[in-house]
Structure 1
Amino acid sequence: MGVPLKRMTVDAFLVWEESQLGRHEFYRGEIFAMVGATARHNRVILNLAGRIADHLDTGPYQVFAESMKVRVAEGILYPDVVVACDKAQAGDEQVIASPRLIIEVLSPSTRGYDKRDKFALYRSLSSLTEYALIDPSNFSVEVFTRTGQDAWAFVDQTAAQALTLCSIDLEIPLDQGFRGVQRAD
């Protein structure tokens, strides 16, 4: 998360952000400009979102990538990939209120924030049942699954053959998730 730009309410933020060229996250009255993504980061997002979309096509959920907002208790966040609980015809909505699955693709500048602070905010969402962290630099995969109201189970899936997403009953072979991506040196 970057340096806060200015303070405002959630509603004022949503109106303000509609006129901005870049994306911004919002928490407790402060606005944070989001940094640009690398080709490696974007490719993993598209690989995962595409496979999830194919899987969910006829089911009760739908997937969005990068530009959809998720509302948390005191803020607005942009997950890289989000699966919404309520499947409806996609319209003009900009904010998802009930995500089931959130995937963050890590970058060097956001790794710590995504693992700690952002996950703490996402855990406040009662609809969220799974949170995955994908690191395209070293091909690591970490998945947290809700096991109770305030309990989460952690599984390091880095050595597995597939990313297992229990919340949507899907396995994505890791070679497909990282297709077209070069490890960082």
Structure 2
Amino acid sequence: MSLSQSHLYLSPEEYLEAEKSSFIKHEYIQGRIYAMSGASDAHVTITTNLIALLRNHVRGTGCRLYATDMKARIEALNIFYYPDIMVTCDRRDLDCEYFKRYPCLIIEVLSPSTEAFDRGDKFIDYQELETLQEYVLISQTRQRVDCFRRNPEGRWVLYSYRGNQELQLISINFSCSLADIYEDVSFN
């Protein structure tokens, strides 16, 4: 997310209408919009690899996979974010054309400019989504994935994956090697 913002207050309805014709994506936080910046080769490659792996996995399950251009709405906080990848298995989300309210899984590929926000305030905001079971943060500078999973008591537990380990996503009964996620990614 870019630090530049509009100082104009927009209602959620005004934001959604403006976003339909905007050439630039904006996230919406309590009436203010923030322009989204472009992504690096590693970011796009990781996201594409995961889309390919997850799409085939959720096919026919009733779950839907959304990537980069679908908004997650956190209604209680008056926020719309664009996660890199989001999965919803909740039929209520079929009624929303431009955003989803009930994801079970959200994945963000970390960028140097967004990592602190993704790990901090954005994660706190996402915790308001009662259906969210896993929040996954993927490094693009080294082979590391952090998966925050909500336990039965409602607490978030961190599961870190490195090297040649298998990533486990309990929310959609999925696993894959980190090598598959990082295929064709070059680390400096």
TM-score (norm 2): 0.91
Shifted more, 77-86 versus 91-100: the winner is 91-100
- CA–CA separation in structure 2 for the residues paired with 1:160 and 1:117: 30
The alpha carbon displacement at 1:139 in A equals 1.7
Alignment correspondent of 2:5 = 4
The alpha carbon displacement at 1:60 in A equals 2.1
Deviation string, structure 1 residues 110-165 (Cα, Å, up to 9, x no partner): 11111111111110000100000001111211000011464111111124521111
Which runs of 5 or more residues in structure 2 are unaligned? none
Contact kept in structure 1, 2:93 and 2:100, CA below 8 Å: no
Residue 146 (structure 2) pairs with residue 145 (structure 1) = no
Alignment correspondent of 2:185 = 181
After TM superposition, where is structure 1 displaced by more than 2 Å over at least 4 residues in a row? 86-92
TM-score (norm 1): 0.93
Tell me the secondary structure at the aligned position of residue 158 of structure 2.
strand
The alpha carbon displacement at 1:86 in A equals 2.9
One-letter code aligned to 1:171: S
One-letter code aligned to 1:4: Q
- CA–CA separation in structure 1 for the residues paired with 2:93 and 2:10: 31
- CA–CA separation in structure 2 for the residues paired with 1:39 and 1:63: 22
- CA–CA separation in structure 2 for the residues paired with 1:74 and 1:106: 23
Give the count of matched residue pairs: 184
Contact kept in structure 1, 2:93 and 2:101, CA below 8 Å: no
Of the candidates 4, 26, 29, which is equivalent to residue 27 of structure 1?
29
Greater per-residue helix proportion: 2
Which runs of 5 or more residues in structure 1 are unaligned? none
Q: 1:100 to 1:171 in 2, by over 3 A?
A: same
